[in-house]
Amino acid sequence: MGGKGSGEFRNPGKTERRLSGDEAAVRDFLEELAQSGHSPRTLMAYRRDLDAFMRFLLLRGKGSPSDPSIDRTLALSYLFDLEQREYRPRSVLRILSSLRSFYQWLCRKGRCPSNPFEDLSGPRRPKTVPAVLTEREMATLLENRPGNSWEDRRDTAMLELFYLTGIRLSELAGLVRGDLSPGMDRVRVRGKGNKERMVPLLGVTRDLLQTFLHEADISPEDPLFAASPGGEALSIHQIGRIVRRRVRLSGLGDRGVTPHTFRHSCATHLLDRGMDLRKIQELLGHQSLGTTQKYTHVGLADLRRRYDQIRRKDVSDDDQGR
């Protein structure tokens, strides 16, 4: 989480006493989220956000999150507190979403008369253009292979699949051998909310996977990309290190390439090649078309950047010609 940690609201003199009923309410809420398919990582974020708010309530003398005196004014005070502590807008928005969802659940269960966070809007999230590589840069990154060890072949197949499918980092880390179709022309991906979708695999990815898996005798339940032969699945942090290593090898170290760059670059390149936005939405597993539309801004930003470069060159040429 951005800014300072949730321990900011800890007061050693007062927080030894637990809120009456808060643990049961939070536990029940998180259990319901888990049953609806939310990931452990998401549940941990909810837990941190709710624990921090509970400590804030203790300092304000509130005995329970369902205390009827918890109103819009107090909710605004909490958001203001977060901003004063220099939490980033993205973090404040996430915390607001967590608390709004929690209070919606409390109201639905009849444990709270109203949702104090219902109509609150957080700080505006700054519009950011996703970082992308050109198709040539991505080809350079994928083709710079350090060697032909088992790990090198695994990394090459994994990164090719990562880019050419545009799946999320968490989805990549969660793939098992049984997710590949018999002909290796599709892969089953489990997205947000445990929703499944089938993503096509291109020839180059299929060939690399076949070569890599030919020497591996693994069962359908085994991870597709393991840390070692027959071992545990690569974690998202391990995949991040692999990406950084390949970035260094390709000479793109100053481009700010991250695992998310693979997904952004895939979507942008498909859009540049004329794929329908709805098809890209389906491929990436976006619930909203608005999320997919951000990639149209990538193209515009790139055009502006190229235009600025040309203009600067023209001005420089004019100056030299005088």
Per this entry, what is the length of the chain? 322
Least confident of 38-42, 156-160, 185-189, 318-322: 318-322
Active site residue 295: yes
Contact 204, 160 (CB under 8 A): yes
Burial class (CB in 10 A: 0-12, 13-18, 19+), 313: exposed
Between the alpha carbon of residue 39 and those of residues 33, 122, 134, 174, the distances in Å are 9, 24, 32, 11
What end-to-end distance do the CA atoms of the chain give, in Å?
Answer: 54
Active site residue 214: no
Least confident of 14-18, 69-73, 172-176, 255-259: 14-18
Sign of CA dihedral 97, 102, 103, 108: positive
Backbone dihedral region of 213: left (phi > 0), alpha (psi from -120 to 50 degrees) or beta? alpha
Taking Cα atoms as reference points, which of 319, 321, 278 lies closest to residue 296?
Answer: 278
Give me 251's structure tokens. Answer: 């000479």
User: 198 forms bridges with which residues in the sheet?
Assistant: 188
Q: pTM for the whole thing?
A: 0.57
Give me 131's structure tokens. Answer: 């970082």
Between the alpha carbon of residue 102 and those of residues 31, 66, 108, the distances in Å are 12, 11, 10
Task: Label residue 6 by pLDDT band (50, 70, 90).
Answer: very low
Q: Out of 154, 168, 246, 264, pick the active-site residue.
A: 168
Active site residue 163: no
At residue 45, the pLDDT reads 92
> What CATH class has 6-108?
mainly alpha
Beta strands in the chain (DSSP E): 186-190, 196-200
Q: Out of 100, 263, 264, 269, pick the active-site residue.
A: 263
Sign of CA dihedral 105, 106, 110, 113: negative
Q: What is the CA radius of gyration of the chain?
A: 24
**Under 8 Å CB-to-CB from 86, ≥6 apart: which residues?**
3, 4
Tell me: pLDDT of 214 over 90: no
Burial class (CB in 10 A: 0-12, 13-18, 19+), 239: buried
Active site residue 4: no
Give me 159's structure tokens. Answer: 């990164």
Long-range CB contacts for residues 27-32, cutoff 8 Å, separation at least 24: 28/109, 29/102, 29/105, 29/106, 32/105
Domain ranges of the chain: 6-108, 135-306
pLDDT in tens, 277-319: 788 888 888 777 766 766 665 554 554 554 455 456 555 555 5
Q: Out of 62, 90, 260, 297, pick the active-site residue.
A: 260
Give me 205's structure tokens. Answer: 């990815």
At residue 10, the pLDDT reads 37
At residue 316, the pLDDT reads 54
Give me 278's structure tokens. Answer: 């709805």
Options 1.10.443.10, 3.40.50.720, 2.40.340.10, 3.90.110.10; CATH of 135-306: 1.10.443.10
At residue 14, the pLDDT reads 42
Tell me: pLDDT of 28 over 70: yes
pLDDT in tens, 105-143: 999 988 888 899 988 877 766 656 667 888 999 999 998
Q: Out of 192, 244, 255, 297, pick the active-site residue.
A: 192
Task: Label residue 53 by pLDDT band (50, 70, 90).
Answer: very high
Distance CA(74)–CA(159), nearest Å, equals 48
What is the DSSP annotation of 116-185?
TTTT---PPPPP-PPP---HHHHHHHHH-----SHHHHHHHHHHHHHHHH---HHHHHT-BGGGB-TTSS
User: How many C-beta atoms lie closer than 10 Å to residue 162's C-beta?
Assistant: 25
